[in-house]
Amino acid sequence: MIRLLREEDADAYAELRRKALLDAPLAFASSPDDDLTSDPGAVREQLRRAPESIIVGAFHDRLVGIVGLYRDRHRKCSHKAHLWGMYVTPAHRHRGLASELLRAVLRHAEAMPGVSWVHLSVSSAAPEAQRLYESAGFRPWGTEPDALRHDGHAVSELHMALHLGSVAA
């Protein structure tokens, strides 16, 4: 089941987010030590900002996949939404959950008045995620070299955007 997270999901989200950061440290800019959304209180606060900021979850007996979306707060940039924090547990990958999560946040973005673009960044350490975003119609607009460093390894980040009038079917 795919649905918007509610405040009562904050503990499960924070636990899964922490696992994601530990499981794939080069796929996320945050680390367990500096990640705000690893704190259930911060997660609840973020969820209260809906519909301008949402987190969608995939459930299979428990929370097994997550992705966030928020509208840019600056008035001049409020036509853009930002996708962040996509993660599906290793045991639940290759079942289409990431695609379902992506479709859910894109539907939400399309329903946000005035939003015409969705932006994201994807680590070079996550080629499957990059292919998923490309299959949904996201196109690269720039690459940041040496964007993330962890344990002596560095990766670049590909910045991508999707014009909502061009969403892939």
Q: What is the CATH number of the domain that holds 102?
A: 3.40.630.30
Q: What is the pLDDT of residues 2-13, one digit of tens each?
A: 999 999 999 999
**Which of 144, 137, 123 has its CA nearest to residue 167?**
137
Residue whose entry in the numeric block shows the structure tokens 């329903």 = 111
Q: Which domain holds residue 6?
A: 2-166
Find the radius of gyration of the CA atoms of the chain: 15
Q: How far are the Cα atoms of 15, 121, 127, 139, 151 from residue 156, in angstroms, in the given order?
A: 27, 10, 12, 16, 15
Kindly report, residue by residue over 36-67, the tens digit of the pLDDT: 888 899 999 999 999 999 999 999 999 999 99
What is each CA distance from 136 to 3, 71, 139, 164, 167, in whole angstroms? 19, 19, 9, 11, 7
**For residue 165, pLDDT beyond 90:** no
For the chain, what is the domain count?
1
Q: Kindly report whether the global pTM for this prediction surpasses the value 0.85.
A: yes
- Sign for the CA dihedral angle at 99, 156, 26, 14 comes to negative
